Chains A and B, each alone.
Chain A
């Protein structure tokens, strides 16, 4: 099947030459401006053709693997748009790689605090996923640092929300809503991020009891318990860090680093209220993961299995949900047939449906990725 001529025409008029790249059934485009992206979405909406959005493609499986009539890549929008260094904000195209961004920021003593475990991932992809890096315990989630967003909506308009300011209550908070929306409302073309200065020093120390460290320390950067060991990351001056480490009877060893990305074929993210982390960890241990990384005080456990039975996952999910949390299957490589990636749909489905309908009336933007098949 070929794309209708109206859609091909819209792509050509926008100066885009579609190519086939396997991610979509028909064609893949890489717009270089928000207006181009909106024009393609408007044409696709008129023909009811689904459009899948993709950054580096590392999370195609989240929400269940799918193919689309059209693939839209952010690779054409990978530039730094504005970086007023002293304001500690930066505006970037959604396609910029997070590793490249961080290297550039670090050189000026700044950081985006985004997760950099997979440096080729794009900023747009991370924002669409709503994922946060290890510093969440101290610095809060990524969502709180997305100050402005530009979006090509499912109804084919370019809209901007928020502003390039670190404090702002002017209008509804579109940037925070778009963060974690998984492309359901439209294609993110650029974002303004709030940056933090790099601390004088950050050290990672090995601890025996992560839960105790969480009780004892004042606002550490991260407290991580994993299959490889338990660690605390502390920021400050060298002297301050050594006093803090001593206060919990730990030694600084500058060779240690925080756990790397889990690459097992099945990857499940367990999210519970931080007060229930210990209980959730026991539930995960009972199912013998090959790898796990838990963030104390945050309430997230990521666990990887080379294989795990469907019943085990369903049972884990039921128990995690009764703790007020969710067990999200981020990746299963076909090993968990019939398991919904999200679990029980949220209680606010009717409002979520209306939002989706109002931003994507034809249901063409990453259809089906959100819980409840939205």
Chain B
């Protein structure tokens, strides 16, 4: 029997998609690559996922797990004709432990829906990627997603206690646990952020955080990027790590204002959006501190909001950034590199220079507090030679980030997009060690092959001698 007819026998027609139109939809994620899809299946239980894995393995067809497909690095895009296992039908909230502040949830659950449904219990899931209205918890686990509020609270890995995993062997195992430091190697550590290459996550034990009793949001305008960046560094050095510290440059502010009229000043070089949370006094203390540091760095404007409607208004501009860009140009390419926080100003200057030299329009909105840059190029792919220029600029931006002590990705992942750039950051022994991690989970390389590691990464045999 063919793989498709066996899958249909297992799941029924409705949950096995192989019509050319479906295949086109599932051929790409939100990044710039696409790939060949054999079929996309919509399992509803871990047992069904395991059966799909066994069938795919039996037919020698590689498996690609997929959440909402909002990934930007091609993680959910097959490299060779593959079976997409789409987890969106497994979106339940199964068990909430209010005392332990944890919940077991399905991988298909939309990130924002988790926090919304917990609001009445005073709890939330901290990672808040800008895609949180669409991306899934499973996808967030796959990419170790970040977001504005990951500055103080950490990225997804810090909020995943355990995960149920269907392995390449078709086994259903649990990595991690509700208890801290369970004996043995912490496999959860490598499963989170593995971009679907170590197995398929079918259930997740998330850590929940208390909703802060009070919060203040500050919008601060600066005449120079240098002043904005110096303010960021000094706030952090002062002993208070704000909940969020986001920066936008002038081109981005202008795009946002034209789009949503959030009331951001358009006569400044950069705005900083800072959020401080805690109990009343700690919020007052932190607000005063941020204000005084901003003033010492020549802030042109400081606006403080403490009630939730006003705070939402200040956030509106930041949250509309990607929408604003799509109003400006039909296509955009969103980058993601990290540099040490103290090198931000220098690297930004180089990035502007690169954009100018390649004649591409550059806007910046980024997680300044942790040095995570998101240069964004707005362009029209129909313009002849444009794609080539955008790619050339992208490549240079990655290289200047790395030269400044930075790395390839802070939250979007490696996927296909940056796979072949891995040797810029790791030598062959380092890549070989990473390939060993993958091989421990998936010796047959059937799980999302061709992602993260460039081919030939495993270059030493067991004795440490070079493979022929």
Tell me which residues across on chain B come within 8 A of A173, comparing CB atoms.
144, 157, 189-190, 192-193
Interface residue? B292 (CB, 8 A) = no
The interface-forming segment of B21-29, B51-59, B411-419 is B411-419
The interface-forming segment of B39-47, B255-263, B365-373 is B365-373
Contact A240 B285 (CB under 8 A): yes
Contact B240 A355 (CB under 8 A): no
Contact B190 A359 (CB under 8 A): no
Contact A167 B179 (CB under 8 A): no
Identify which of residues 148-181 in chain A touch chain B, using a CB-to-CB cut-off of 8 Å. Answer: 151, 153, 155-161, 163-174, 176-177, 179-181
Contact B239 A140 (CB under 8 A): no
What string of 1s and 0s marks CB contacts (under 8 Å) between B425-456 and chain A? Answer: 11101111110111111010000000011000
Tell me which residues across on chain A come within 8 A of B408, comparing CB atoms.
170
Interface residue? B327 (CB, 8 A) = no
Contact A354 B100 (CB under 8 A): no
With A and B bound together, what is the CA distance between A169 and B432 in angstroms? 17
Identify which of residues 58-79 in chain A touch chain B, using a CB-to-CB cut-off of 8 Å. Answer: none
Tell me which residues across on chain B come within 8 A of A88, comparing CB atoms.
236-237, 341
With A and B bound together, what is the CA distance between A357 and B190 in angstroms? 17
Tell me which residues across on chain B come within 8 A of A161, comparing CB atoms.
430, 433-434
With A and B bound together, what is the CA distance between A77 and B448 in angstroms? 39
Contact B102 A275 (CB under 8 A): yes
With A and B bound together, what is the CA distance between A247 and B279 in angstroms? 11
Tell me which residues across on chain A come within 8 A of B184, comparing CB atoms.
342, 345-346, 348-349, 352, 370-372
From A157, A167, A243, A356, give the contact of B411 (CB < 8 A): A167
With A and B bound together, what is the CA distance between A89 and B405 in angstroms? 13
Interface residue? B175 (CB, 8 A) = yes
The interface-forming segment of B267-275, B309-317, B352-360, B460-468 is B460-468
> Which of B408, B433, B440 has its CB near the most chain A CB atoms (within 10 A)?
B433
What string of 1s and 0s marks CB contacts (under 8 Å) between B94-108 and chain A? Answer: 000101111000000
Contact B183 A346 (CB under 8 A): yes
Contact B340 A87 (CB under 8 A): yes
Identify which of residues 188-206 in chain B touch chain A, using a CB-to-CB cut-off of 8 Å. Answer: 189-190, 192-194
With A and B bound together, what is the CA distance between A342 and B241 in angstroms? 37
Contact A197 B239 (CB under 8 A): yes
Interface residue? A229 (CB, 8 A) = no
From B241, B285, B431, B462, give the contact of A236 (CB < 8 A): B285
Known contacts A173-B193, A276-B100, A347-B173, A165 near B338 by CB under 8 Å: yes
CB distance from A87 to the nearest CB of B (A): 5
From A84, A158, A244, A273, give the contact of B429 (CB < 8 A): A158
Contact A273 B185 (CB under 8 A): no
With A and B bound together, what is the CA distance between A181 and B150 in angstroms? 26
Contact A177 B281 (CB under 8 A): no
Interface residue? B210 (CB, 8 A) = yes
From B371, B412, B427, B432, give the contact of A166 (CB < 8 A): B371
What string of 1s and 0s marks CB contacts (under 8 Å) between A231-259 and chain B? Answer: 00000110110011001000000000000
With A and B bound together, what is the CA distance between A63 and B155 in angstroms? 31
What string of 1s and 0s marks CB contacts (under 8 Å) between B335-359 and chain A? Answer: 0001111100000000000000000
Tell me which residues across on chain B come within 8 A of A168, comparing CB atoms.
338, 407, 409-410
Contact B186 A170 (CB under 8 A): no
With A and B bound together, what is the CA distance between A118 and B315 in angstroms? 45
Contact A109 B340 (CB under 8 A): no
CB distance from B365 to the nearest CB of A (A): 16
Contact B279 A243 (CB under 8 A): yes
Interface residue? A351 (CB, 8 A) = yes
Tell me which residues across on chain B come within 8 A of A45, comparing CB atoms.
463-464
CB distance from A76 to the nearest CB of B (A): 21
If A300-B181, A347-B173 are given as contacts, then 16 extra A-B residue pairs at C-beta distance below 8 Å, sorted by A number, are A155-B462, A158-B429, A164-B405, A165-B339, A165-B371, A167-B146, A168-B409, A169-B412, A170-B425, A172-B434, A177-B189, A177-B190, A180-B185, A299-B100, A351-B187, A355-B437
> Can you report 19 residue pairs joining A to B where beta carbons are below 8 Å apart?
A86-B342, A89-B340, A141-B180, A143-B189, A153-B464, A157-B433, A157-B464, A159-B433, A161-B430, A165-B371, A173-B157, A173-B190, A173-B193, A179-B186, A218-B213, A273-B102, A275-B100, A299-B179, A343-B183
Q: Which residues of B contact A (CB under 8 A)?
A: 97, 99-102, 143-144, 146, 150, 154-155, 157-158, 167, 169, 171, 173-175, 177-187, 189-190, 192-194, 210, 212-213, 233, 236-241, 278-282, 285, 338-342, 367, 370-372, 405-414, 418, 422, 425-427, 429-434, 436-441, 443, 452-453, 460, 462-464
Q: Which 8 A-B pairs have the closest CB atoms?
A: A275-B100, A176-B189, A273-B178, A155-B464, A159-B433, A361-B462, A240-B281, A358-B436
